[in-house]
């Protein structure tokens, strides 16, 4: 996802619990560099803009991880099967991934404040729809709206900060606070989700967004109006991307439940193939394509995208499975399950701080490859889990999950940013984040389908093991590709 400012774009992050800090670090660098052209109107009250942007980023990040902990309660109250739970997660993530490349241009066309207000208002209304949902279908529809709104909120939040802080040094500090908010939300989300679900019910996870949204909209009245800039929208490319991702998710999710040769699964795969084939065709013919085809021909770019996809598949897969494993198989409370994620978040944050220094010493390629290998080891290490595995051992086996992705992503993002021209940095960052989100969404679809194929609509160890093995092998493959194709002297 990207925030467009004039002709340059500022990379931003998705609400991704596996790597908020590294992506945001790149956002800081790009935002402070800027284009030096066309700052927005008078900054108004910069504190109000910063708090509004911080709250939006935080609530979206919390929403992702908190909802994962509410899935068992949603299943029980709405009588949903595994397919419904998968769509509760993927409806949000897929829309977020598919729309994030266009969201920056929309923020430019409408103005940062106006786009942010629209996004927050829609996100708040969609949260109300989630909380009031009478059935799983209504909940999934509201989650899709949430994802689309989040795709607008994210780039506009950084654009608000850029508008409020024209001085580069003050802007860097503001974005650093924005990043910290995401890190705190990443750690607090599972605990908050488990606690709210257990004490006030799963609907409270969504109701929490309402007062936050109201505060943000109130703060926006104290933020200076943002000018509009001409920014072309690639609607054909956007449409084909949505069709491809949604079709693939439909095929994978429903294939595990209805059968891989069922009409709905085959229709999903057909739509995915049509969208995937049409996307490069329309991109080559659009005057301002979301994804310039020449960019994908660069080895560093294509490898970085594949690695980012695999890393998020590993992390999201573990997060999705861990919540179900703890609550469904072990019978743990929501609060206890949320606390299981705290050591993981601490490891992610601390490893993020180490990764850039390590890349500076030994080069980016070894760090990227090592991170993937560690994450693959985490997948394989979790294979022997049973309902009776001691909790201390579960936490120990989870440790590589927090280390692997957090080690690789900062070096991966830095390598990608250095591999493209400055005026394409936002596009490349947005594409990387989109592929990472897609990896997370598709692995949830795959894991849920494997659980269903095992004949259990709640949780099954055979399905979990098959999924972990598949993702572990994928990470080994992308690690080998990175070792073979990335440049040897890719140092910071």
| Whole-number percent of the chain with pLDDT over 70 | 84
Phi, psi of 17 (to 5 degrees): -65, -15
Give the residue carrying structure tokens 């049973």. Answer: 386
Residue 422: is its pLDDT beyond 70?
A: no
DSSP alpha helix (H) spans, 388-460: 391-418, 425-453
Nearest to 382 by CA among 444, 480, 461: 461
Q: Per residue in 41-62, pLDDT tens?
A: 444 578 888 888 889 988 888 8
Higher-confidence position of 132 and 429: 132
Of residues 263 and 254, more confidently modeled: 263
Phi, psi of 224 (to 5 degrees): -60, 145
What tokens does 80 get? Answer: 């949903």
What's the CA angle centered on 302, arms 299 and 303, to 5 degrees? 80
Burial group, residue 376, by CB count within 10 angstroms (0-12, 13-18, 19+): buried
* H helix count then E strand count, the chain: 18, 2
Render pLDDT for 339-394 as a digit per residue (tens, 0 to 9).
Answer: 888 888 888 878 878 888 888 889 889 999 999 999 999 999 999 999 899 999 99
Q: How confident is the model at residue 270 (pLDDT cuts 50, 70, 90)?
A: very high
The two three-digit tokens of residue 275, written as one number: 């969208």
Cβ atoms 174, 46 nearer than 8 A: yes
What does the pLDDT read at residue 185? 76
How much is the mean pLDDT over the chain? Answer: 81
Is residue 291 predicted with pLDDT exceeding 90? no
Q: What integer pLDDT is reported at residue 13 of this predicted model?
A: 33
Compute and round to an integer the Cα radius of gyration of the chain. Answer: 21
Q: Domain-by-domain residue ranges, the chain?
A: 2-234+288-485, 235-287
Q: Identify the band that residue 16 occupies on the pLDDT scale cut at 50, 70 and 90.
A: very low
**Taking 90 as the threshold, does the pLDDT of residue 212 lie above it?**
yes
- Distance of alpha carbon 141 from alpha carbon 19, whole angstroms: 27
Q: Which residue has the higher pLDDT, 232 or 373?
A: 373
In contact, 234 and 290? CB cutoff 8 Å: yes
Architecture of domain 2-234+288-485: Up-down Bundle (1.20)
Token reading at 459: 């949780």
List Cα–Cα distances, 153 to 126, 257, 318, 322, 343, in angstroms.
Answer: 13, 34, 27, 29, 29
What's residue 411's pLDDT? 86
User: Do strands 8-11 and 2-5 pair parallel, antiparallel, or not at all (unpaired)?
Assistant: antiparallel
**Confidence check: pLDDT of 29 > 50:** no
Query: pTM, whole model, 2 decimals?
Result: 0.77
Choice among 126-135, 202-211, 215-224, 352-361 with the minimum mean pLDDT:
352-361
Angle, nearest 10°, between helix axes 425-453 and 82-110? 170
Between CA 105 and CA 103 the distance in angstroms is 5
Question: Measured at the alpha carbon of residue 284, what is the angle toward residues 281 and 288, in degrees to the nearest 5?
Answer: 125
**Choice between 96 and 367, residue whose per-residue pLDDT is larger:** 367
Which residues make Cβ contacts (< 8 Å) with residue 253, sequence separation at least 6? 83, 86, 87, 90, 445, 448, 449
Q: Determine the pLDDT at residue 223.
A: 84
């Amino acid at each position: 996802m990207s925030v467009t400012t004039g002709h340059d774009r500022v990379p931003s992050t998705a609400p991704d619990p596996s790597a908020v800090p590294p992506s945001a670090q790149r956002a800081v660098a790009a935002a402070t560099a800027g284009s030096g052209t066309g700052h927005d109107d008078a900054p108004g009250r910069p504190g109000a803009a910063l708090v509004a942007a911080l709250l939006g980023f935080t609530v979206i990040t919390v929403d992702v991880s908190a909802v994962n902990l509410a899935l068992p309660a949603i299943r029980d109250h709405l009588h949903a099967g595994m397919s419904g739970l998968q769509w509760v997660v993927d409806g949000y993530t897929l829309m977020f991934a598919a729309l994030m490349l266009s969201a920056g241009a929309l923020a430019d066309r409408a103005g940062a404040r106006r786009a942010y207000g629209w996004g927050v208002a829609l996100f708040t209304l969609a949260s109300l729809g989630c909380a009031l949902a009478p059935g799983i279908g209504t909940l999934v529809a509201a989650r899709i709206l949430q994802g689309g709104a989040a795709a607008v909120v994210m780039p506009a939040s950084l654009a608000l900060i850029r508008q409020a802080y024209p001085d580069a040094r003050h802007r860097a500090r503001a974005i650093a606070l924005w990043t910290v908010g995401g890190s705190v939300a990443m750690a607090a989300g599972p605990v908050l989700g488990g606690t709210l679900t257990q004490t006030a019910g799963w609907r409270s996870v969504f109701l929490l967004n309402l007062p936050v949204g109201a505060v943000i909209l109130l703060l926006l009245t104290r933020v200076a109006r943002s000018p509009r800039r001409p920014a072309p929208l690639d609607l054909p490319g956007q449409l084909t991307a949505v069709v491809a991702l949604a079709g693939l998710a439909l095929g994978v999710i429903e294939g595990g439940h209805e059968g891989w040769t069922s009409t709905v699964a085959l229709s999903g795969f057909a739509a995915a193939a049509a969208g995937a084939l049409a996307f490069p065709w329309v991109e080559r013919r659009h005057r301002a394509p979301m994804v310039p085809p020449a960019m994908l021909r660069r080895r560093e770019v294509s490898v970085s995208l594949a690695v980012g996809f695999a890393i998020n598949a590993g992390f999201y897969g573990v997060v999705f499975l861990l919540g179900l494993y703890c609550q469904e198989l072990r019978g743990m409370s929501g609060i206890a399950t949320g606390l299981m994620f705290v050591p993981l978040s601490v490891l992610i944050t601390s490893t993020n701080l180490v990764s850039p220094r390590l890349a500076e010493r030994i080069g980016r390629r070894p760090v990227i490859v090592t991170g993937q290998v560690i994450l693959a080891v985490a997948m394989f290490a979790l294979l022997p889990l049973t309902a009776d595995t001691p909790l201390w051992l579960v936490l120990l086996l989870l440790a590589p999950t927090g280390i692997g992705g957090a080690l690789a992503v900062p070096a991966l993002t830095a390598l990608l940013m250095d591999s493209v021209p400055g005026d394409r940095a936002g596009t490349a960052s947005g594409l990387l984040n989109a592929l990472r989100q897609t990896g997370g969404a598709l692995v949830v679809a795959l894991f849920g389908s494997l659980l269903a194929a095992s004949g259990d609509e709640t949780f099954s160890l055979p399905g979990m093991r098959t999924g972990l093995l598949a993702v572990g092998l994928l990470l080994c493959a992308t690690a080998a590709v990175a070792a073979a194709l990335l440049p040897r002297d890719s140092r910071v």
